[in-house]
A and B are shown apart, each in its own frame.
Chain A
């Protein structure tokens, strides 16, 4: 038994040694490329190829009645018809609509992202200022602020769905009495938007807080002493010392949250449903399930384009800061 075990182990070892010895003969550059092979196999098959293929599909017609996924090449017409409203009948809700903004996917997504990210920034900043203090139990406060961040999206959805069920959730009764919500808030677009934004703020403010906290802790403490000697009040110290120095970290955190919240889907699916709050990713899923692959691909790439556009705004703003500094 012992000898067999030993021999199988030595065989395993020699199997590992052969390639390890082979790498000894490579130059540093060759060795680096060998190490990167698994990464680029994974990334090229699971990310680069699907992206390029989706991009290609977005120029092809929907093929509902054939064995193929997509039909003939149609140029930009998927994009054009989505943007000018010709495709709205297929989508179930308008794509872009300025007259009725909360019915249309683009506006719903942008409004959601804008409000959620601003609220998360404010609350995250507050949490970061609390965590920046030295006090007993700080560790536990940080854990409890961090826990919502780790809650699976599906369960986050379940929590807020239960919260606002008309017959049991006490939040509904309370907010109805205040006249904020209607009978069943999860079937009304505006009410549901509010719920989804609150759910998102609850879950992701901690992420903001941690990034801002890292920025706060890198501020040179002696600057505060200088400000205090110069007679600055607490508010002035915050405005003229803390805020400008934290701003780069703050912008990075906002950029990350913006990119992530542009993808909003899971929390909608598990609370109000995509008919009530049609986000862009909702449209990708519904057209994909209807077999309209060309349309789905075009919606996906318009989403990616919007993400890129918003990211550019942050990056330009960030570059301004760097130049100004």
Chain B
């Protein structure tokens, strides 16, 4: 960037302006790369900074710039020792997987009915499912909390007396059951779309071979709709793994009481305020399962989000 060349060429800025006027296409191209770069930096920078923080030794936690003050990878070991973060993650994954299996099974039955059968009351029932997803979780939590702490009388029998609801507080059941209901509508909408697109001929052929209707669902419809099932499954898993409100309120926060990842984070903030490097390490490890899922299943996520939303 010597001044001599600047004078010869009329300065880089002027040269650039001249090029831009003569050739607007390349300017748009350049602008496009700048905008793309901006989006990449803004979405990924927080993760880079977490890594910087995690690698910085605990006693160097001041005025951290863009590079770590030192190099201490043991934060990724210590984060499991201070708090059993692996147990919180395990709990979250078990809860999310169980919910996904229930949602896919129940949602497949419903998706088959809504997508392939004619019956009275179809539209009102679909609208009811849609209406439920409008309500904020805060409008469900009070009775659900009473239900799962064993404080709701289910039935009063003449001999046995009052039958109380089960005490599921601090168990996966208190999270899996409400999640299954609250994430069900989205999966039903996705599966209905996919199941309705399977040609009737294929199902009829299986039926002529002697398969029952249920058999045809599991042997023909579901295998042929594998992308749709995968989409519904991935979205449910991510949704449950990311859920905050019910996860936060349905356990007391102890790892051995099935507290999910939400509580791992909250407990770190509450008990280990100064261990910023451990918190950063825990955040990185905690997002890994969903980041892997996004990289592997991005096509499914994109089609699911757009199909699920734009259909309604």
Please give the residue numbers on chain A whose beta carbons come within 8 Å of chain B beta carbons, in ascending order: 17, 19-21, 23-24, 28-29, 31-33, 35-36, 38-39, 42-43, 45-51, 53-54, 57, 69, 126-127, 130, 133, 135, 139, 141-155, 157-159, 161-163, 165, 167-168, 170, 173, 202, 206-207, 210-211, 213-215, 234, 249, 252-253, 256, 259, 262-263, 265-266, 269-270, 280-281, 284-285, 288, 293, 296-297, 299-301, 303-304, 307-308, 311
- Whether A162 touches B53, Cβ cut-off 8 Å, given contacts A23-B212, A42-B181, A155-B265, is yes
- Give the Cβ gap from B297 to chain A, nearest Cβ, in Å: 10
Q: Could you list some 26 contacts between A and B, CB below 8 A?
A: A31-B117, A32-B118, A38-B106, A42-B181, A42-B184, A46-B144, A47-B140, A50-B141, A53-B143, A130-B35, A130-B39, A145-B40, A149-B294, A152-B241, A154-B266, A155-B287, A163-B49, A170-B64, A206-B43, A211-B309, A249-B310, A288-B142, A293-B142, A304-B136, A304-B139, A311-B134
Closest residue of B by beta carbon distance from A19: B214
CB distance from B101 to the nearest CB of A (A): 13
A29 near B118: Cβ-Cβ < 8 Å? yes
**Set A43, A54, A142, A147: member contacting B139, Cβ < 8 A:** A54
Report the minimal beta-carbon distance from A17 to chain B, rounded to whole angstroms.
Answer: 8
Determine if A161 and B269 form an interchain contact, defined as CB atoms under 8 angstroms apart.
yes
Contact between B276 and A46, CB atoms less than 8 A apart: no
Known A-B contacts: A43-B181, A53-B142. Give 20 more (CB < 8 A): A32-B118, A35-B110, A39-B109, A42-B106, A42-B180, A42-B184, A43-B129, A47-B140, A142-B302, A152-B261, A153-B244, A154-B264, A158-B279, A162-B53, A167-B62, A168-B276, A173-B63, A252-B310, A265-B138, A265-B245
B window 92-120: CB within 8 A of A: 105-107, 109-110, 112-113, 117-120
Output the least CB separation between B23 and chain A (Å).
14
Inter-chain contact B36/A141, CB cutoff 8 Å: yes
Contact of A263 among B184, B245, B282 (CB under 8 A): B245
Q: In whole angstroms, what is the CA distance A299 to B142 when docked? A: 12
- Supposing A202-B43, A266-B248 touch, asked if A47 and B181 sit within 8 A by C-beta, the answer is yes
A143-B294 in contact (CB<8A): yes
Residues on B facing A (Cβ under 8 Å)? 28, 32, 35-36, 39-40, 42-44, 46-47, 49-50, 53, 61-65, 105-107, 109-110, 112-113, 117-120, 122, 125, 128-129, 132, 134-147, 151, 177-178, 180-182, 184, 188, 212-215, 238, 241-245, 248-249, 261-262, 264-266, 268-269, 276, 279-280, 282-283, 286-287, 290-291, 293-295, 298, 301-302, 305-306, 309-310, 312
In the complex with contacts A28-B119, A211-B306, A150-B129 CB distance below 8 A:
no
CA distance in complex: A211, B42 (Å): 20
How far apart are A152's CB and chain B's nearest CB, in angstroms?
4
Q: How far is the CA of A23 from the CA of B112 in the complex (A)?
A: 14
Query: Which residues of chain A come closer than 8 Å to B301, judged between CB atoms?
Result: 146, 150
Q: Which residues of A contact B286 (CB under 8 A)?
A: 152, 154-155
Q: A39 with B283: in contact, given A130-B32, A163-B49 (CB under 8 Å)?
A: no
- The reply to whether B293 and A150 contact each other, CB–CB distance below 8 Å, is yes
Nearest residue, chain A, Cβ from B118: A28
Contact A20–B298 (Cβ < 8 Å): no
Decide: B140 and A50 in contact? CB cutoff 8 A.
yes
Report chain B residues within 8 Å CB of A234. 28
Q: Closest approach, in angstroms, between the C-beta of A210 and any C-beta of chain B? A: 5
CB <8 Å contact, A39 and B118:
no
Q: In the bound complex, how far is the Cα of B248 from the Cα of A133, in angstroms?
A: 41
Which residues of B sit under 8 angstroms from A173, Cβ to Cβ? 63
| A293, B42: Cα distance in complex, Å | 42
Of B125, B178, B265, B312, the contact of A158 (CB 8 Å cutoff): B265
Which chain A positions have C-beta within 8 A of B143?
Answer: 49-50, 53-54, 57
Verify B129–A153 contact, CB threshold 8 A. Answer: no
The answer to whether A146 and B136 touch across the interface, beta carbons within 8 angstroms, is: no
Contact A154 B262 (CB under 8 A): yes
Residues of A contacting B182 in the complex (Cβ-Cβ under 8 angstroms): 46-47
**CB within 8 Å for A35 and B135 given contacts A46-B144, A263-B245, A300-B142:** no
